[in-house]
Amino acid sequence: MAALLCRRSLPRTWLCRRAGQGCGRHYRAALCAELKQPLAIEEVARRPVRPHEVRVEVHFCGVNFADILVCRGQYQEKPPLPFTPGMEFSGIVLETGADVSSVKEGERVIGLSGFNGMAEEYIADQKTLWRVPEKVSLQEAAVLPVSYGTAISALEHRAHTQPGETVLVTAAAGATGLAVIDVATNVLQAKVIAAAGSDDKCKLAVQRGAQGSVNYSQGSLKEAVRRLVGSRGVDVAIDMVGGEVFLEALRSLAWEGRIVVLGFAGGNIASVPANLLLLKNISAMGLYWGRYQDQDFPLFSRSLSSALQYCQQGRIRPYVGSVFKLEEVNDAFLHVIQRKSTGKVLLSLK
Q: Do the beta carbons of residue 55 and residue 103 sit within 8 Å?
A: no
**Quick one: how far is CA 147 from the chain centroid?**
4
Rounded CA separation 55/181 (Å):
34
DSSP letters of 127-187?
A: GGEEEPPTTS-HHHHHHIIIIIHHHHIIIIIIS---TT-EEEESSTTBHHHHHHHHHHHHT
* End-to-end CA gap in the chain: 28
| Amino acid at the residue 165 | E
Q: Is 306 left (phi over 0), alpha (psi -120 to 50) or beta?
A: alpha
Question: Splitting the chain (350 residues) into consecutive groups of 10 residues, what average pLDDT does each group show?
Answer: 36 35 73 97 95 98 94 90 96 97 97 91 96 96 97 98 98 96 98 96 97 94 95 96 95 97 88 93 95 95 97 97 97 90 93
pLDDT of residue 22: 37
How many residues comprise the chain? 350
pLDDT of residue 11: 37
Rounded CA separation 241/294 (Å):
26
Any idea what the Cα angle at residue 78 is, between residues 77 and 83, rounded to 5°? Answer: 120
